[in-house]
Amino acid sequence: MWLGSVFVKGYLMKLFWKTGEPYVLATGAALAIILVMSLTLVGVVMSNGLGYFWPRALVKFELKDGSAALGQVTQQEKNPISGIRRFQLKVGNRDVFGQDFRWIDEQDITTRSEPADTVLLERREHGNYFGFLQGVTAEGLNLTAATPYEKLQQARKLVAGKLAATRKIKEQMSDLNNSAESLRLKVQKLEYSGKEKNAAAITELTAVREKAMAEFSGLNEQFTATQADIGRITAQFTDAVGGSKDISLTEIVALQRPNDMSFFAKCGAYLERVRELLLDDPRESNTEGGLFPAIFGTVMMVLMMSLFSLPFGVIAAIYLREYARDGLMTRMVRIAVNNLAGVPSIVYGVFGLGFFVYGIGGSIDSLFFPERLPTPTFGTGGILWSSLTLALLTVPVVIVATEESLASIPKGIREGSLALGATKFQTLTRILLPMATPGIMTGLILSMARAAGEVAPLMIVGVVKLAPTLPFDTNFPFFHMDRKFMHLGFHIYDVGFQSPNVEAAKPMVFVTTMLLLAIVIIASSVAIYLRNRMRGKYTTSTF
Amino acid sequence: MSQTNDQTDKTPILSVSDLNLYYGQAHALKGVNIDMARHQVTAFIGPSGCGKSTLLRCFNRMNDLVESARIEGSIRFNGAEVNDSATDVISLRRRIGMVFQQSNPFPKSIYENVVYGLRIAGVNDKTTLDEAVENSLKSAAIWKEVKDRLNESALGLSGGQAQRICIARAIAVNPEIILMDEPCSALDPISTLKIEELIEELKDKYTIVIVTHNMQQAARVSDVTAFFYLGELIEAGGTRKIFTNPEKKQTEDYITGRFG
């Protein structure tokens, strides 16, 4: 009986291995691990990033030594040495306390409260201010509201109206500045081509320019005066330790009383912050404010990169697969292309600097803009050189994908077309390329994802921490290929590791990462959707 | 349609003499001599690897695509040398159509499949194309089945239908010869029967050369049968004679199934 059962068990085990069940389980497990890993990645980024904009409660701790602290609890832990629980408090008021964060031991705390009248100010400089509103000094403003908080809100609305007026002046000034600059370049060019010959034109243009400059300085005076006028409208605050502070209303970006907000009010504040993130310019050396220039720069750079690498890669692959004679040379080229995809990206960056920026850019400058030298125009990093460098980096991916998809088209299809009297070129354009499009799209998706994530080569060929202008604007010729630009990947590095206040910038790192991830996912999804539509159209039954 | 009169009707449309073909070192066709008459069905039979498909692909120069192929000897199509480097391969292929073993519809609509040959020849007149589609689909005996879905993808058709679309596609450019390389080997018996009936009808307008593994098929559809073995043409003659009273022992062994 016992022997029998051992025999049956052994037989069943053998059968178990024979069916291949364990291997199927192993493949399933591998897939599950990969799935969990990618979900974790997205989860970590989201959980760190999403909470950043939620208006958190301002907690006031009364301490045993008689002082007090006000701020947002960012984390709590057991002190690794003494074993006592402690809180990390973001106390803000960097200009007063000198630092944003403070650790407080639980045993030092006497009371913990969340006073409803605490205010949170987002300021243009020095980070957030946490404190209590005392009053508003508003000369020339007719404030009708009763409480100081309502008064402040009313004052802010009036100030916002005045600031809008100054913005118009600013726009006029920027237009004047642009035309003065283009005049200056014209004069420079005329002077370069012959000072005596163009003397009349030069004096004329200089006169026009001086007029514009005079107008500019007039406006500037007006602007500074109004600005100073508005700046005199201030509000008085006191902080947790009793110090008082006078803050100009132009300094205040946002005003909240987080302890007094309903859930919906908090949702509204959250959405407002998201809007600011997506559409506004950064502040405070990129650690606050929006990311619009970086988003724009990343998307534009990736699109330009695709514009260069897609046609180039596809044409190269067509030659390699359809026209080149299959021999040692073709095989070598193929190996070289595959290896090119594995070259460290910084190498491309250095190449881009030497070849595109100094080589081609330098030549363009000396040929077309000699009058501006030694100030470079194209002979310095810019969005054009960045996208070309990345196109070079991603072109092997497109080549390999195109070649693979051309190779996977059944021989019968080509022969069918040729047997009807089609030339090789007609077969290629009418049959093969449409059929290869889904595969080419796969290559494009991979290359776009890679380009969006690259940072190292871009640092050398055109990305900057803060670009004053976008590479696209309403001034002719609209696309400014020579301009430097901002990029989300570089932004992460810069905010996370180069900013003066790394601890405060940490959430911003995750928010930026989340955005970069979102851009890659959106771009890939669009491409995948297009690919699937084509696949439905061109897939043969023989695949 | 070929502009035939009694004079040219008697001369062979295709005439092969002393044809040798090498794939690298391999000698695939050895001194083949055969003539094919107009408006007849010629069947090539023989075991796999005997060179019958290779010969078929010589007629429209499809062997050009094989880099290692080297051809000696002569093939004359209406008296003109096919293997001449001055021959216009494009117009040659337009006049000698081909249907393949595996049906190979393009990933386009049925309509676009049929007019493909015309479009690449530069015909874009809508009425001409419409007419060509209707005529060739009718000739290929598939008009009734697909006339309501001409704009649907040809990839959704069954194997037999797809093969008839490929025949219609070949007919649409109005060739003189249609080469068929085992057109029924991937089809079920009913589709096979339809294609065989079709060959019978097409014979009136076109000259057909068909390669087949199926000896019954050769016996049913062809007027002339040629038996190949190891790259050599063993025997060619009237189908009835080949199947009832072959001259060579090898032929008899093969058609009676006594072949090693």
pLDDT exceeds cutoff 50 at A278 = yes
pLDDT exceeds cutoff 50 at A500 = yes
Q: How far is CA B16 from CA A79, A117, B27, B57, B88, in A?
A: 97, 104, 17, 13, 19
- What is d(CA A362, CA A372) in angstroms, rounded to the nearest whole number? 12
Q: What is the per-residue pLDDT across B209-253, written as a single tens digit (0 to 9) for each?
A: 999 888 888 888 899 999 998 888 888 888 888 888 888 888 888
**Using alpha carbons only, what angle is made at residue B220 by residues B214 and B226, rounded to the nearest 5 degrees?**
65
According to the model, what pLDDT value does residue A1 have? 56
Contacts of residues B147-150 at CB distance under 8 Å and 24 or more positions apart, as own/partner, are B149/B110, B150/B109, B150/B110, B150/B111
Q: What is the nearest CA distance from B174 to chain A, expressed in angstroms?
A: 11
Domains of chain A: which residue ranges?
Answer: 67-133, 148-232, 292-538
Contact B184, B217 (CB under 8 A): yes
User: pTM for this structure?
Assistant: 0.81
Q: What is the nearest CA distance from A306 to chain B, expressed in angstroms?
A: 27
Phi/psi at B81 (5° precision): -75, 125
- Listed range (A260-274, A295-309, A350-364, A488-502) with the worst mean pLDDT: A488-502
End-to-end CA distance of chain B: 43
Residues of A in contact with B102 (CB under 8 A): 410, 412, 542
pLDDT-derived band at A64 (thresholds 50, 70, 90) equals confident
According to the model, what pLDDT value does residue B259 have? 66
Q: E strands along A278-436, which residues?
A: 282-283, 288-289
pLDDT exceeds cutoff 70 at A401 = yes
What percentage of chain A has pLDDT greater than the value 90?
Answer: 17
Share the mean pLDDT of chain A: 85
pLDDT-derived band at A173 (thresholds 50, 70, 90) equals confident
pLDDT exceeds cutoff 90 at A347 = yes
Output the CA torsion A260→A265→A266→A271 (10° steps).
Answer: -150
Nearest to A213 by CA among A241, A247, A187: A187
Q: What is the per-residue pLDDT across B59-86, written as a single tens digit (0 to 9) for each?
A: 988 888 888 888 888 898 888 888 888 8
- What is d(CA A107, CA A86) in angstroms, rounded to the nearest whole number? 8
The answer to whether residue A468 neighbours chain B at the CB level (below 8 Å) is no
pLDDT (mean) for B8-29 = 84
pLDDT (mean) for A113-131 = 85
Collapsed DSSP state (helix, strand, coil) of residue A201 = helix
Number of H helices, E strands in chain A: 17, 12
At position B255, the amino acid (one-letter code) is: I
pLDDT-derived band at A543 (thresholds 50, 70, 90) equals very low
Contact A94, A126 (CB under 8 A): yes
Sorted by sequence, the CB contacts under 8 Å of residue A70 that are 6+ apart come out as A58, A59, A60, A61, A91, A118, A130, A131, A239, A240
According to the model, what pLDDT value does residue B50 have? 86
pLDDT exceeds cutoff 70 at B6 = no
Q: How far is CA B63 from CA B28, B55, B166, in A?
A: 12, 9, 20
Q: How far is CA A169 from CA A21, A175, A439, A462, in A?
A: 76, 10, 53, 31
Share the mean pLDDT of chain B: 86
pLDDT (mean) for A218-246 = 84
According to the model, what pLDDT value does residue A538 have? 66
Q: What is the per-residue pLDDT across A9-42, written as a single tens digit (0 to 9) for each?
A: 778 878 777 777 888 889 999 999 999 999 999 9
- What is d(CA A365, CA A221) in angstroms, rounded to the nearest whole number? 37
The answer to whether residue A538 neighbours chain B at the CB level (below 8 Å) is yes
Collapsed DSSP state (helix, strand, coil) of residue B122 = coil
Nearest to A305 by CA among A476, A454, A405: A454
Collapsed DSSP state (helix, strand, coil) of residue B202 = helix
pLDDT-derived band at A305 (thresholds 50, 70, 90) equals very high
What does the block give as tokens for B124?
Answer: 């874009």
According to the model, what pLDDT value does residue B9 have? 62
CATH class of A292-538: mainly alpha
Q: What is the nearest CA distance from B122 to chain A, expressed in angstroms?
A: 11
According to the model, what pLDDT value does residue A397 have? 92
What percentage of chain B has pLDDT greater than the value 70?
Answer: 95
Residues of B in contact with A419 (CB under 8 A): 60, 62, 93, 97-98, 100, 170
Contact A317, A403 (CB under 8 A): yes
Please state which architecture CATH assigns to domain B13-255.
3-Layer(aba) Sandwich (3.40)
Answer yes or no: do A431 and B117 touch at CB < 8 A: no
Residues of B in contact with A422 (CB under 8 A): 90, 116-117, 120
- What is d(CA B226, CA B228) in angstroms, rounded to the nearest whole number? 7
- What is d(CA A422, CA B87) in angstroms, rounded to the nearest whole number? 15
pLDDT-derived band at A318 (thresholds 50, 70, 90) equals very high
According to the model, what pLDDT value does residue B43 have? 92
pLDDT-derived band at A405 (thresholds 50, 70, 90) equals very high
Contact A404, B154 (CB under 8 A): no
DSSP string, B126-179: HHHHHHHHHHHHHHTT-HHHHGGGTTSBGGGS-HHHHHHHHHHHHHHT--SEEE
Q: How far is CA A376 from CA A192, A357, A389, A508, in A?
A: 16, 10, 19, 34
Answer yes or no: do A413 and B117 touch at CB < 8 A: no
Task: Give A311 or A183, the one with higher predicted confidence.
Answer: A311
pLDDT (mean) for B11-39 = 88
Residue A266, judged by CB atoms within 10 A of its CB (0-12, 13-18, 19+), counts as middle
According to the model, what pLDDT value does residue A39 have? 94
A85 φψ region: left (φ > 0), alpha (ψ -120 to 50), beta (else): beta
This model of the complex carries an ipTM of 0.88
At position A443, the amino acid (one-letter code) is: G
The answer to whether residue B220 neighbours chain A at the CB level (below 8 Å) is no
Answer yes or no: do B106 and A421 touch at CB < 8 A: no
What does the block give as tokens for B103?
Answer: 């049906």
pLDDT-derived band at A396 (thresholds 50, 70, 90) equals very high
- What is d(CA A70, CA A60) in angstroms, rounded to the nearest whole number? 4
The answer to whether residue B93 neighbours chain A at the CB level (below 8 Å) is yes
pLDDT (mean) for B32-54 = 88
pLDDT (mean) for A223-243 = 83
Enumerate residues 378 to 417 of chain A having a beta carbon within 8 A of any beta carbon in chain B. 410, 412-417
The answer to whether residue A421 neighbours chain B at the CB level (below 8 Å) is yes
Residue A423: closest C-alpha in chain B: B90
Q: How far is CA A123 from CA A128, A268, B201, in A?
A: 6, 19, 90
- Listed range (A278-287, A308-317, A323-332, B223-232) with the worst mean pLDDT: A278-287
According to the model, what pLDDT value does residue A2 have? 65
Task: Give A542 or A151, the one with higher predicted confidence.
Answer: A151
Answer yes or no: do A420 and B155 touch at CB < 8 A: no
- What is d(CA B75, CA B66) in angstroms, rounded to the nearest whole number? 18
pLDDT-derived band at B5 (thresholds 50, 70, 90) equals very low
In 10 A of CB A8, how many CB atoms?
10
Burial A324-340 (b: 16+ CB within 10 A, else e): eeeeeeeeeebeebeeb
Instruction: Using DSSP bridges, classify how beta strands B207-211 and B177-181 pair: parallel, antiparallel or unpaired.
Output: parallel
Phi/psi at A138 (5° precision): -135, 90
The answer to whether residue B120 neighbours chain A at the CB level (below 8 Å) is yes
Residues of B in contact with A417 (CB under 8 A): 106, 116
Answer yes or no: do B170 and A420 touch at CB < 8 A: yes
The answer to whether residue A192 neighbours chain B at the CB level (below 8 Å) is no
**Using alpha carbons only, what angle is made at residue B145 by residues A416 and B100, rounded to the nearest 5 degrees?**
20
Quote the distance between the C-alpha of residue A233 and its chain's center: 35
Query: B56, B61, B68, B104: best mutation site toward chain A, by most A Cβ within 10 Å?
Result: B104
According to the model, what pLDDT value does residue A462 have? 86
Contact B155, A539 (CB under 8 A): yes
What percentage of chain A has pLDDT greater than the value 70?
Answer: 98
- What is d(CA B235, CA B225) in angstroms, rounded to the nearest whole number? 8
Query: B113, B155, B173, B209: best mutation site toward chain A, by most A Cβ within 10 Å?
Result: B155
